[in-house]
Amino acid sequence: MAATAVLALPLAACSGPLSTLDPAGPAASNIAILWWIMFWGAAALFLLVGVLYALAFYRPQMLSRFSVGQWIVGGGLIMPTIVLTALVTAAFVLGERLIPKPMEDQPPRVYAMAHQWNWQFGYDDAEGQTLQLHIPAGAPVDVVVTTSDVIHSFWVPRLAGKVDAIPGHENVLRIEADRPGTYRGVCAEFCGDGHTRMRFAVIAHAPEDYEAARAAAIARSGR
Ligand SMILES: [Cu+2]
């Protein structure tokens, strides 16, 4: 109960429009799961080392039952092998799921073009551009990210990880929003004195509203 109360305090700050720990889609959920695995893995190891450290001071006879060789083999070889194998496996399995692999129904493509200091979004199936990215909710969308000038980074923490925008190169990030809503994004690579203003939003619409909402946004940005 006390532990819950202690944990609730810092974790109360984990929600919010730019929180990786408040995922709103499958890619971000995998990242959050990986984060929690790493957090609890690190917390358990920290606790173990803390307990051993305390025992060395207050109950040294408990530790001296093991020989130096046993400590080195157990604590220096066997334990790290088990811990690192488990954590690396989790990271590989979850990281693999973030790769935009070819699908039977290839997701629609949208284009994110970074400029110093704003974003412009284009669409495979519509003329014109928008200043916020419009997507249908509940389905994957491939975002093709590039830049007209320096390196930027496209990051919508509640939907997916970061991907760099590199001149002359296209990086693809698969995003999906489980529900309609507005998801805030930022440029995550320092790109000059307008960097902190380089914000945008991904607006996910119910599939039936998507095209009309996007057409309205294109019309607005054309004015
Ligand atoms: Cu930038």
Q: What is the model's pTM?
A: 0.85
Residues 48-60, mean pLDDT to the nearest whole number: 94
Q: DSSP state, 72? A: H
Residue ranges covered by each domain of the chain = 20-96, 109-221
Q: What is the pLDDT of residues 117-159, one digit of tens each?
A: 999 999 998 999 999 999 999 999 999 999 999 999 999 999 9
How far apart CA 12 and CA 61 sit, in angstroms, is: 41
CATH number of 109-221: 2.60.40.420
Question: Pairing relation of β-strands 163-165 and 152-155?
Answer: antiparallel
Q: What is the pLDDT of residues 66-105, one digit of tens each?
A: 999 999 999 899 999 999 999 999 999 999 988 899 888 8
Q: Report CA(145)–ligand 1 centroid distance (Å).
A: 12
Q: Report CA(114)–ligand 1 centroid distance (Å).
A: 7
**Length in residues, the chain:** 223
Q: How many CA atoms lie within 13 A of 110 on its CB side?
A: 27
Q: Report CA(152)–ligand 1 centroid distance (Å).
A: 4
Q: Report CA(189)–ligand 1 centroid distance (Å).
A: 6
Buried b (16+ CB within 10 A) or exposed e, 72-90: eeeeeeeeeeeeeeebeee
Q: Report CA(127)–ligand 1 centroid distance (Å).
A: 25
Protein residues within 5 Å, CB atom, of ion ligand 1: 152, 187, 191, 198
